[in-house]
Structure formats: C-alpha cells, structure tokens
C-alpha cells in the first residue's frame, strides 16, 4: 500500500475548528467557508491532526476537534476519499447534496489549547484521544 488512496480509512477522523461548535451539537452543522468553496468536508486522520493544525491554525491558541465516526457517516450515505496523506475528504454518495456532519456522526468534541509561542505539533503529538 504505497499510495495514499490504497490506505483503509480509520474508524475515526477529525474536523478541526477554530471556534467552539454549538453545544449540544445540532443534527447538521453548518459548513465552513473552506468546505463550501472546495465542495467537500475537510477532515484529518488522527496522526495527521498535529501537522494540519500547525499548517492552518498555527496562529490560534485554542482549537476544537470533532471526532467523526466514519462507519456511522457511511451508514448515512457519506463517502470518503484520501487527499494528501492523512487528509480525508467527506462527500455525499449521490453528490447531489452535502454529506451530513453533526450529532450522531460527530461522536465526541474536545478543546485543545497551546501556550502562545508553542507549536501545535508539540501540543497534539502523542495525545491518546487522536486514535
């Protein structure tokens, strides 16, 4: 399995947010501007979260991670594709509507903080929550 497209999808993938999601989570979360622009929901495998966070959220001192259950999402007609290694794209199977992400598909939410001047790779790498 040398190509990223050959890798199996993990049971859990993660959505990184710079703002706290609603609590309780609604049935369907609104799409981020980037997701709307690109036509899919951007997610990361757990091992990729530290690097993705560093690349796109480096100036933030707090982030929220949403743990997405890929099996539940597939049961609701979502499909997943690999982007760059560890980057996951979630689409609707029929491509005529967006895949739903919200309560039930998101099975956990956790806030992470880092001290100003520290790096996200250091703050997140090895965290057992990112399975």
Judge whether 88 lies within some domain: yes
Query: What does the pLDDT read at residue 3?
Result: 44
Domain that holds residue 88: 10-115
Judge whether 105 lies within some domain: yes
Global pTM value: 0.91
Integer Rg of the chain from CA: 14
What are the strands, taking DSSP E only, across 1-128? 12-17, 41-45, 62-69, 78-82, 87-92, 106-113
Query: What does the pLDDT read at residue 13?
Result: 97
The enclosing domain of 29 has a CATH number of 3.20.170.20
Judge whether 103 lies within some domain: yes
12 is written with which tokens? Answer: 């859990």
pLDDT per residue rounded down to tens, the chain (131 residues): 334 556 788 999 999 999 999 999 999 999 999 998 998 999 999 999 999 999 999 999 999 999 999 999 999 999 999 998 899 999 987 765 778 999 999 999 999 999 888 899 989 988 898 98
Judge whether 30 lies within some domain: yes
Query: What does the pLDDT read at residue 73?
Result: 95
Domain count, the chain: 1
37 is written with which tokens? Answer: 């622009």
- In angstroms, the CA 11 to CA 13 distance is 7
Query: What does the pLDDT read at residue 126?
Result: 87
Judge whether 125 lies within some domain: no
Judge whether 121 lies within some domain: no
Contacts of 52 by beta carbon, 8 Å cutoff, 6+ apart: 16, 44, 86, 87
Contacts of 105 by beta carbon, 8 Å cutoff, 6+ apart: 68, 69, 72, 73, 76, 78
Judge whether 80 lies within some domain: yes
Judge whether 106 lies within some domain: yes
- In angstroms, the CA 64 to CA 14 distance is 10
């Amino acid at each position: 399995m040398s190509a990223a497209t050959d890798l199996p999808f993990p049971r859990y993938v993660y959505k990184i947010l710079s703002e706290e999601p609603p609590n309780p989570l609604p049935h369907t979360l609104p799409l981020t501007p980037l997701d709307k622009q690109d036509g899919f929901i951007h997610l990361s495998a757990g091992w990729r979260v530290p690097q993705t966070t560093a690349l796109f959220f480096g100036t933030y001192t707090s982030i929220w991670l949403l743990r997405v259950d890929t099996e539940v999402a597939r049961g609701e007609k979502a499909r997943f594709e690999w982007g760059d290694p560890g980057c996951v794209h979630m689409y609707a199977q029929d491509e005529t509507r967006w895949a739903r992400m919200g309560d039930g598909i998101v099975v956990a939410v956790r806030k992470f903080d880092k001290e100003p001047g520290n790096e996200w790779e250091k703050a997140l790498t090895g965290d057992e929550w990112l399975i």
